[in-house]
A and B are shown apart, each in its own frame.
Chain A
Amino acid sequence: MSSPLGLYQPGDSPLHRTPAGWKFLGLIAFATVIVVFDEPVPLALGGVAVLVGFVTARIGPGRVFRMMRLLLVLLAAVFALQWWLIGPESATVVCLRLLVAISAANLFTLTTRIGDLVSAIERGLSPTRGLGVRPELLGLLVGLTVQAVGALSTIAEQTRQAQRARNATRSVSAFAVPFLVRTLRHADELGEALAARGVGDTAPEEPERSEHAPPERGDD
């Protein structure tokens, strides 16, 4: 099934080649600007900028639509509720803001390998190690968050199928209970798998002899 966040699509566009750390900072800055504006026109211009990004990255409209269709359904519901609560203009601004911000996040994940993002975060936060921060764990946290979107989408889809198989499509508990149980079990198993792969073990292993020194320079 398609997840609400797009997974990396290989390519060699300028967006693909931009270092992950800079792209991530750009995304944060863009999202901040989007939150500051509360007029439809600048938000629409932000949307056009994201659209240009999709074209530049050569991501087809079919892929974008498959990714965004769940979001569009949710936005329709949010729009109706906001219209009823605060009027059409504010509803338009809220929904445009969400649409543009999430589209930008999608563009980021489609053009950025998560491994590159994790490395960039680790490097960016390495000066904070002296303060007791463990950058490698924060980087991993970001990577796992993105990975979890796909994993939870799969669990949700399988749970929905089981719900349909038992003719219980209208039962909230027939979805919520198994989804929650499977999600918790997944978290438990993932924790065990991370431990098996040495996550949480302090101090990095002795570096192997590398052809490139320093090893992490220019990773992006």
Chain B
Amino acid sequence: MNASTENDDRAGSARGPRTGRLRFRASRWEKRLIEFDGVGHTYGEHTVLSGIDLRITERRVAFVGANGSGKSTLARMINGLVHPTRGRVLVDGLDPVRDGKRVRSRVGFVFTNPDSQIVMPTAGEDVAFSLRRKGLSKKEREDRAAAALAEHGLEGYADHPAQQLSGGQKQLLALCSMLVLDPEVLVCDEPTTLLDLRNKRLLVERLQALEQRVVLVTHDLELLDDFERVVVLDRGGIVADDEPGRALRHYRELVT
């Protein structure tokens, strides 16, 4: 066993008992990072972000801020949905602007409104749609989709019209359609905004159970219980970057 693996094993055991696969995955995200280097973004003459320098190595990171603070734009840059007009973003050493395809195969994105994310008529087809370019047979795609649906509480819904699912189920489906690709990073842009309390709890439980690195954009401070780091944005800049307790105190002072 080399030194790196030993360190990985220690990192895994420090978090309690894990399976071999989980330990391996943990080592992957611990070594990899998301970097924002002097990032800025403007829409016309409107500056959305400016001077963002961040190095993200933690497993649970949140971007918090008022409407228009630039947090969603910042999150979208991680998988190249929005390109910086200044500076650069690197995900595991890859530039999402130039290596968008490779970055998107590693970074999943869950949007606020699942209605806009679901692109196929039935739940099973939507999950299988994510797998269409994996070179799998139809049977394999269907089997994987069914297994993913079952894993995320949607067992038996494969042939159910996606638009007729409840709000919470739709968001779980959107999550499922991303997780079936086994991304290393999951970026979630206010995924609970349209959900009631029950569905919110359901989604939060799923997110908490994920082994992936999660970057969460949210207004909902209750979601941040198990987060390691919270970045507070205001008017396009970072105003606090700390562990959740201190960062959120700063955020509350900012909005009151």
Contacts and interface: CB of A to CB of B under 8 A. Distances in A.
B121 A150 contact: yes
B134 interface: yes
A197 B187 CA distance: 13
23 contacts: A7-B122, A8-B121, A8-B122, A116-B138, A143-B129, A147-B121, A151-B115, A190-B119, A193-B117, A196-B111, A197-B119, A197-B178, A198-B105, A201-B104, A204-B133, A204-B135, A205-B105, A205-B134, A206-B135, A208-B136, A210-B135, A212-B140, A215-B136
**Interface secondary structure of B, over-half rule:** mixed
A203 B99 CA distance: 13
Given A113-B125, A115-B129, A150-B163, A194 B119 contact: yes
Nearest to B108: A196
Contacts of A193: 111, 116-117, 119
B208 interface: no
A201 B100 contact: yes
A195 interface: yes
Interface string A94-129: 000000000000000000011110110000000000
A155 B17 CA distance: 48
Interface in A146-192: 146-147, 150-151, 154, 186, 189-190, 192
Nearest to B104: A198
A216 B101 contact: no
A15 to B, nearest CB: 16
B140 A147 contact: no
A150 B79 CA distance: 29
A42 B160 CA distance: 36
Given A8-B121, A210-B140, A195 B81 contact: yes
Contacts of A220: 138
Find the residue from A114, A197, A220 having the highest chain B CB count within 10 A: A197
Contacts of A196: 79, 81, 104, 108-109, 111, 117
Interface in B118-140: 118-122, 124-125, 128-130, 132-140
Contact of A119 (B138, B163, B178): B138
Given A115-B128, A205-B134, A212 B119 contact: no
